């Protein structure tokens, strides 16, 4: 008969803690919480659709460039024209409803990216082993990186921030890396936009957390729809604490929002504008115009036209009032009339005057006194 072993009761808490699942927060979710806790919560809770035809088209484009990178990374340098034909075929297999936009977003950049993968900027062929990480890569070449944001506590696993890098290349020395991020939409990126981006500051934080020998991460956005690339933006390790703090701050907004919802409240709102926010239609704190726009854009447009007509009529009445009284209307912080401060006196320009018939009692009026169309 097998002897039954007694369980050491002191080990139960430690065993339970090991079973607490770790929590992964994706970069896009953390960025949404950074923009607005309500937006982040609505996306996480499924209150709004976190997808669109444009996003789905972008996913197809990223898949194609990941496929291209994998071809080169696994080739040992033995690639030819037939490989590019297989890349084109992969793009043509995009989901049929978004295929035309995916082709428009990627086709013009296929050869540019292919040549960039194969050749070094100063000339010569790039070693495929210099392709370190990429989307769809397996094992050590997986583009998915993670860093711990909050340690494990009783009842909650450790919280990690995660993001996937599209393409990471080795630099000329061990202390530098080059990141390419593919964007297939219509947004125009600049070096300043890359530098200030939550996404790329988080990528820098992930890089410095996972690779202690890396001192500089050079990042560029390749706008594949236009086949244009931004200048390289350098993120340095001496700013790593700043980048990580921004990600941690977004994580704390996530933590605070979950506590608020659990207590029966709603996430706090701190957006400057709600226009264009996908959560505006369900957000109780959204500014009324943004909520109405999200609910019925056609009705919002018609209402706006009627309000514009009413505003034009009010402007006519304000002009007439100032003209008759000879004095501007003054209110705290705002005024209406002719006495707006200009910094220095100026002579009236020719554009201010209007041709009128002689021999009549009609007074000359400046064009800026009357609304357009009067």
Query: What are the pLDDT digits (tens) for 131-182?
Result: 999 999 999 999 999 999 999 988 889 999 999 999 999 999 999 999 999 9
% residues pLDDT > 70 (the chain): 78
Q: Would you state the pLDDT for residue 302?
A: 76
More confident residue, 61 or 309: 61
* Among 373, 229, 246, 240, CA closest to 315: 373
Mean pLDDT over 71-87 rounds to 89
Within 10 A of 154 (CB to CB), how many other CB atoms are there? 8
pLDDT tens track for 2-56: 454 554 555 555 555 455 799 999 999 999 999 888 888 888 888 887 778 889 9
The DSSP bridge pattern shows strands 228-229 and 233-236 to be: unpaired
The confidence band for 331, taking pLDDT boundaries of 50, 70 and 90, is: confident
Please report the beta strands in the chain, taking only residues with DSSP state E, as ranges in sequence order.
23-26, 131-134, 144-150, 159-164, 167-170, 176-183, 216-223, 228-229, 233-236, 329-331, 334-336
**Cα–Cα distances in angstroms (integers) from residue 77 to residues 72, 140, 173, 255, 326, in the given order:** 7, 19, 21, 47, 82
Cα–Cα distance between 273 and 280 in angstroms, integer? Answer: 10
Mean pLDDT over 287-291 rounds to 63
The confidence band for 363, taking pLDDT boundaries of 50, 70 and 90, is: very low
Q: Which range scores top for mean pLDDT: 29-43, 291-305, 321-335, 355-369?
A: 29-43
Check if the beta carbon of residue 103 is closer than 8 Å to that of residue 91. yes
Q: Would you state the pLDDT for residue 308?
A: 81
- Pull the structure tokens for residue 92: 């043509």
- Whether the pLDDT of residue 371 is over 50: the answer is no
Per-chain mean pLDDT for the chain: 82
Largest CA distance in the chain: 127
Domains of the chain, first to last: 20-262 (3.90.320)
More confident residue, 197 or 7: 197
Mean pLDDT over 239-261 rounds to 90
Check if the beta carbon of residue 236 is closer than 8 Å to that of residue 215. yes
The confidence band for 249, taking pLDDT boundaries of 50, 70 and 90, is: very high
- Whether the pLDDT of residue 209 is over 60: the answer is yes
The DSSP bridge pattern shows strands 334-336 and 329-331 to be: antiparallel
% residues pLDDT > 90 (the chain): 52
Residues sharing a CB contact under 8 Å with residue 189, sequence separation 6 or more, in sequence order: 183, 221, 223, 230
- Whether the pLDDT of residue 345 is over 50: the answer is no
The confidence band for 317, taking pLDDT boundaries of 50, 70 and 90, is: confident
Mean pLDDT over 194-200 rounds to 98
Within 10 A of 172 (CB to CB), how many other CB atoms are there? 10
More confident residue, 325 or 56: 56
- Pull the structure tokens for residue 321: 């009032």
- Whether the pLDDT of residue 1 is over 60: the answer is no
The confidence band for 254, taking pLDDT boundaries of 50, 70 and 90, is: very high
- Whether the pLDDT of residue 112 is over 80: the answer is yes
């Amino acid at each position: 008969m097998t002897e039954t072993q007694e369980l050491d009761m002191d080990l139960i808490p430690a065993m339970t803690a090991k079973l607490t699942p770790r929590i992964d927060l994706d970069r896009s979710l953390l960025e949404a919480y950074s923009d607005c806790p309500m937006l982040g919560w609505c996306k996480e809770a499924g209150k709004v659709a976190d997808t669109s035809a444009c996003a789905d088209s972008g996913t197809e484009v990223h898949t194609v460039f990941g496929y291209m990178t994998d071809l080169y990374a696994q080739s040992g340098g033995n690639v030819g024209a037939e490989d590019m034909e297989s890349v084109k075929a992969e793009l043509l297999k995009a989901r049929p409803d978004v295929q035309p936009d995916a082709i428009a977003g990627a086709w013009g950049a296929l050869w540019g990216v292919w040549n960039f993968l194969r050749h070094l900027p100063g000339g010569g062929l790039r070693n495929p082993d210099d392709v370190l990480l990429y989307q769809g890569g397996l094992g050590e070449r997986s583009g998915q990186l993670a860093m711990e944001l909050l340690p494990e506590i009783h009842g909650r696993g450790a919280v990690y921030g995660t993001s996937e890098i599209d393409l990471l290349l080795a630099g000329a020395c061990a202390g530098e890396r080059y990141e390419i991020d593919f964007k297939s939409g219509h947004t125009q990126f600049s070096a300043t936009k890359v530098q200030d981006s939550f996404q790329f500051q988080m990528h820098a934080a992930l890089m410095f957390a996972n690779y202690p020998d890396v001192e500089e991460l050079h990042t560029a956005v390749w706008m594949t729809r236009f086949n244009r690339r931004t200048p390289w933006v350098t993120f340095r390790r001496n700013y790593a604490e700043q980048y990580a703090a921004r990600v941690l701050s977004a994580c704390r907004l996530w933590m605070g929002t979950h506590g608020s919802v659990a207590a029966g409240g709603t996430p706090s709102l701190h957006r400057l504008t709600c226009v264009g926010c996908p959560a505006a239609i369900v957000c109780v704190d959204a500014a009324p115009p943004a909520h109405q726009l999200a609910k019925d854009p056609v009705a919002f447009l018609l209402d706006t036209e009627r309000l514009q007509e009413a505003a034009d009529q009010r402007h006519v009445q304000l002009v007439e009032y100032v003209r008759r009284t000879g004095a501007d209307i003054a209110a705290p912080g705002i005024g209406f009339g002719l006495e707006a401060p200009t910094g220095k006196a100026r002579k009236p320009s020719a554009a201010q005057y209007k041709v009128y018939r002689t021999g009549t009692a009609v007074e000359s009026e400046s064009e800026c006194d009357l609304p357009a169309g009067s």
